[in-house]
Amino acid sequence: MMLTPFDVGWTVWAVFLVAGAAKGLVGLGLPTVAMGLLALLMAPPEAAAMVLIPSLATNVWQMLAGGHLWPLVRRFWPMLVAASLATVLGVGLMSRLDSAHVTLALGAVLVVYGALGLGSIELKVSPNQEPWLSPAVGLGTGLVTGATGIFVLPAVPYLQATGLARDALVQAMGLSFTVSTVALGIGLAGDGHLSVASVQQSMAALVPAAIGMMAGQRLRHRLEAKPFRRLFYIAVTLLGGQLVVRALF
């Protein structure tokens, strides 16, 4: 039987409303926020499976919005290929490690990501470094994605450091996130964590995610984005810290 959006539960509705609003307000963060909050409610592999469809839908839209797609694919394909392969292999870590260890890793990734955002650290990557650095970043991103379900590190800081123009950067992040989401889905399916029921739950979660995203976009046009971006990184850091404490104690 097909699930309706209300069958995923009000708590999950709230999670995806918040995650979607973060995406609408600051342009990223749906899977990051959703994974962090869902990890408080369920095992990380289950959370990763639930995030798949909302993440894929929003990231495909972000990937296709703009005229830079094929130049970006040609430039960053080594990173994308390495990230895909490493993600599929890395899902085994999420499945085989103790849940507390996965939660600890997830929390640590969120803390690092939030701290980098708050620190406004500017990195620079020269074109002659990309041929060897791009696949290395892809490998690292894939392992982090497979183990935690979060695909922002180190891909996002790397893409920011390559000197892309704002619109191209947003599209490049959408491309990277889309590839990582598909690879994560393949890895979860291969490891037995993706069933018809979990796909239906993920599809149902798309509704609150979309509502939250549209609300966030409307707020973004009325309010200053910078304070909300800072608030987003503070919230991510605190959420990551909560997961670390929970895993350790």
pLDDT tens-digit map of 77-106: 999 999 999 999 888 878 777 878 888 999
Instruction: Kindly report the pTM of this predicted structure.
Output: 0.88
Contacts of 51 (CB under 8 A, 6+ apart): 30, 31, 34, 35, 38, 149, 202, 205
Whether the Cβ atoms of residue 79 and residue 137 lie closer than 8 Å to each other: yes
Average per-residue pLDDT in the chain? 87
Q: Where are the domains of the chain?
A: 5-248
In a 3-state reduction of DSSP, which class is residue 88? helix
Interval 66-79: pLDDT, tens: 789 999 999 999 99
| Model pLDDT, residue 58 | 86
Grade residue 1 by pLDDT with cuts at 50, 70 and 90: very low
| Model pLDDT, residue 101 | 85
- How far apart, in whole angstroms, are the C-alpha atoms of residue 154 and residue 140? 7
> Closest Cα to residue 234, out of 114, 73, 89, 96?
114
| Model pLDDT, residue 225 | 63
- How far apart, in whole angstroms, are the C-alpha atoms of residue 105 and residue 246? 12
pLDDT surpasses 50 at 2: no
> Does the N-terminal peptide bond of residue 5 adopt cis geometry, omega within 30 degrees of 0?
no
Grade residue 29 by pLDDT with cuts at 50, 70 and 90: confident
Interval 141-189: pLDDT, tens: 999 999 898 888 999 999 999 999 888 888 999 999 999 999 999 999 9
pLDDT surpasses 80 at 28: no
Distance of CA 201 to the CA centre of its chain: 18
